[in-house]
Structure 1
Amino acid sequence: MTTTVGYVDIIARLAVSIIVSGMIGYDREHKNRPAGIKTHILVCVGACIIAMIQREIGFQAIVAAQQYPKFSGVIRADEARLIAQVVSGVGFLGAGTIIVTHHSIRGLTTAASLWATAGLGIAVGMGYYKIALISAVSVILVLTLISRIIRVNSFKKIEIKYQHKEETKEFIQEYFEKKAIKITDVNFSASKSEYDSVIYKNIYTIELPKKVSYAEIIEDISMNKNILMIQTISV
C-alpha cells in the first residue's frame, strides 16, 4: 500500500486540475464573464493542493498507527481541521482585492492567487515540500504563461452614439474593415436630442483579431468629430 503522494501523482493531479478547470474557464472567458481561465485554474489548483495535503495527513496517520499499535486508537488526523479554517479564512483577504465598477470586476485573479498561495503556505508549513515546490511552479506558470499560450477572442458589444448618419456609418464600417474586425450583429436606433437634432445609436457585437484591443478601438473611433459616445457592453 502506498503511504505517500509521489512526484508523478502530484504532477498528474495538478495537470488534470489545470486542464479541467481551464476548459470551464475558457467557456466563461469566451462569454466575457468576470472569472476567466486563470481564475478558474487557480481556484482548482489551490483545491488540488489542499486535497493532496489532506491525503498526506491521512497517510501519516496510517504510518504512525503501524509504528505504534498501542496508540492506534488515539491517533487522529486533526490537522485537517486547522487547514479548513485557513482555507475559509483566506477568502476574506481575497475579497478585499476585488474591485467592482459599473462595467467590470477586477481583482478576481489576484484573489484566486492569494487562495492558491494559502495552499502553498499550508504545504510548506506541514513540511510537504515536494507538493509546495511543484504546486508553486504550476501557479507561476498559470499567472505568467496562460495568457500568452491561450488567446480567447471574447465577444463584446460596442455601443456608439453619433451624428451625421451616412458619413459616420461609413467611417465606422471602413475602420472595422481596415482592422479586420468581424461584425456578428448590429442593432440600430435613432432618437432626438433636446435641441431637436437626431442622435443615432449602433450596438455592434464584434469579434477581434489577436492584435487588436477594445481600448484601441474606443480610442480610435472616439477621435471622429461626429462620435458623441462610445463604450463596451458585456454580452
Structure 2
Amino acid sequence: MPTPSEFFDPSFIAILKLFLAMLLGGIIGTERAVFARQAAGTRTFGLVAMGACLFIVTGNYVDVAYLGVLSFDPLRVAAAIIMGIGFLGGGLIIFRGDSLHGVTTAAGLWIVAGIGMAVGFGLYLIAIFATFLTLLMFTGMWFVEDRFKHWFEEVKGDSR
C-alpha cells in the first residue's frame, strides 16, 4: 500500500503534521482555559504541541539530510523537549498558603508535548487517542475525584 509520502511533498506532510499537533494541543488547551479557567490555555497548549512536533520533524529532516555525515539520534531531541517542558510546567505551579495550584495544567503541558512528538513521528492514531484520554482525565475524572472528596468528607465527619 502506498504511503502519503509517495504522493505528497515531504514539506507538505510536515505542514500537515504541524497543523494536526497544533489542533490537538489547542483542543486540550481549550478545556483548560474554558472549564478549568487556567492561565495556560488554547494558545499555550497549541504552541507547545506544535513546537514539539516541529523539533521532531526538523530532527527527522536533519537525520535524512546528513545521513552518514552526522550521528543523529531523534530520541535525544525528544528528551530535550521533555526537559524543556518540565521547565515551562514548573513555572505554572504555584504555592498559595498550604495548597498547590497548577500541577494538573503543568502535567497537561507535558502530555501535550508528548502528543506533538507523536504527531511528529507519524504516530497519528496514538496522538489522537492520547488527546481523547487527556480530555477524559481533565473532564470525566474531575467528576469522579469530586465525588470521592465529598464521600471522604462524609465518612470523616461520621467518624468524629
TM-score (ref. length: structure 1): 0.34
Q: Which has the higher contact order (CA 8 A, sep 6+)?
A: 2
Higher-Rg structure is 1
Length-normalised TM-score, structure 2 = 0.49
The structure that is strand-richer by fraction is: 1
By percentage of residues, which structure has more helix?
2
